[in-house]
Amino acid sequence: MSMAADEPVPPKGFPGLRPLPQIIFGSRWLQLPLYLGLIVAQCVYVVLFLKELWHLVLGAMRFTEQEIMLVVLGLIDVVMISNLLIMVIVGGYETFVSRLELEKHPDQPEWLSHVNASVLKIKLAMAIIGISSIHLLRTFIYAGSLGRGDAPYTETGVMWQAIIHGLFVFSAIGIAYVEKMGQSAYNKPGH
């Protein structure tokens, strides 16, 4: 079994891992089916996107501007969820399972070069805020029909969506603040 030129080589005389640490360390591969399942979910989102895009193209001449905007917001929502899936699949695999060794690949995502659990948490929080924003914007489009019997949302529903969105924003700020405090404590002299 030959090793690649840039693959890390254990130092001579390195004893290797004892059996229990080897089992514990190897257990990270149990996450592989989870990431493969997320790839399947990504495929489902591609099908959903194509279906909605086809719906938009077929209805382009008869849809109102508001209907077109709602379908386009739905497409953006699918793309943002898909981006979230990619961050979790690629970033999570790289952080928790095994290195992808993309350093020299021309298509390596910029963010992947400095991904760790902290960066991944913040990026995921920001993606969730983006997705929540799209849902809230779709809800606000119907704001003029609130209170009517045919309205798809109630005033209470809109209020709760706005509160939940605010909590997402507050949580993301909290995560970023805690991560920054942790980094500044770690970067102090003597650590």
Mean pLDDT of 85-104: 85
- What lies within 8 Å, CB to CB, of 116 at 6+ separation is 95
- Residues 131, 87: Cα–Cα separation, whole Å: 14
Looking at 87, 113, 139, which one is the last position of a domain? Answer: 113
Please report which confidence band the pLDDT of residue 55 belongs to, taking 50, 70 and 90 as the band edges: very high
Please report which confidence band the pLDDT of residue 5 belongs to, taking 50, 70 and 90 as the band edges: very low
| HSE (side-chain half, CA atoms, 13 Å) at 48 | 16
3 located within any domain: no
Number of domains in the chain: 2
**What mean pLDDT, rounded, does the chain reach?**
83
- Residues 157, 140: Cα–Cα separation, whole Å: 11
Query: Do residues 90 and 123 both lie within one domain?
Result: no
Query: Do residues 125 and 103 both lie within one domain?
Result: no
- What lies within 8 Å, CB to CB, of 126 at 6+ separation is 172
Angle at 91 between CA 86 and CA 95, to 5 degrees: 155
160 located within any domain: yes
Cα dist from 60 to 51, 74, 75, 138, whole Å: 14, 15, 14, 19
Query: Do residues 134 and 61 both lie within one domain?
Result: no
Query: Do residues 123 and 108 both lie within one domain?
Result: no
59 located within any domain: yes
Query: Do residues 106 and 122 both lie within one domain?
Result: no
pLDDT at 54 over 90: yes
Tell me the percentage of the chain whose pLDDT exceeds 90.
30
Please report which confidence band the pLDDT of residue 123 belongs to, taking 50, 70 and 90 as the band edges: confident
101 located within any domain: yes
Task: Tell the burial category of 102 from Cβ atoms under 10 Å away from its Cβ (0-12, 13-18, 19+).
Answer: middle
Q: How many CB atoms lie within 10 A of CB 177?
A: 10
Looking at 113, 132, 149, which one is the last position of a domain? Answer: 113
Please state the pTM of the whole predicted model. 0.71
Query: Do residues 106 and 132 both lie within one domain?
Result: no
Q: Say what the pLDDT of residue 10 is.
A: 61
Query: Do residues 105 and 120 both lie within one domain?
Result: no
Q: Say what the pLDDT of residue 149 is.
A: 75
- Which residue is associated with the tokens 């695999």? 93
Most confident option among 20-24, 100-104, 115-119: 20-24
93 located within any domain: yes
- Residues 85, 12: Cα–Cα separation, whole Å: 41
pLDDT at 1 over 60: no
Query: Do residues 50 and 108 both lie within one domain?
Result: yes
Q: Which domain holds residue 104?
A: 31-113
Mean pLDDT of 144-169: 83
Query: Do residues 37 and 107 both lie within one domain?
Result: yes
CB of 160 within 8 A of CB of 139? Answer: no
40 located within any domain: yes
